[in-house]
Amino acid sequence: LIVDANESWHSEGLAARCQLLADLGVAMLEQPLPADDDSALENFVHPLPICADESCHTRESLPRLRGRYEMVNIKLEKTGGLTEALALAGEAERQGFERMLGCMLCTSRGIAAALPLAPLARFADLDGPTW
């Protein structure tokens, strides 16, 4: 089970919420703080991996994420397509980030393009066509 806070939390109380999620067996927390206000994650000690979603778009995002996140959510829509998504996955791995594969609202044909990335990801959340 993963939890996606969708940038809705504040830094106050973050440690307690992370501990509660870990105690419940949650495997990962996705983007708890707003992308433009995630500096509270800098060297934040927490009991479960935190994944950057809105904070990560392309390889250029990675330097800013170091020390804040353990994972990145790769979405074709954010990267601009499969070529950059594959490059982001490779560079993220080289820099020690685990990977998640996600999507936005899309068609089943649109999400099929993401399938080559699935073996590179710890988590795959490809539910866009079901919405």
Query: pLDDT tens digits, residue range 18-32?
Result: 999 999 999 999 999
pTM score of the predicted model: 0.94
pLDDT in tens, 80-128: 999 999 999 999 999 999 999 999 988 898 889 999 999 999 999 999 8
- Nearest 10 degrees: Cα torsion 47, 49, 54, 58: 140
Per the structure, the count of domains in the chain is: 1
Task: Decide: residue 114, CB within 10 A, 0-12 exposed, 13-18 middle, 19+ buried.
Answer: buried
What residues make up the domain containing 36?
A: 2-130
Q: What is the domain-level CATH number for residue 11?
A: 3.20.20.120
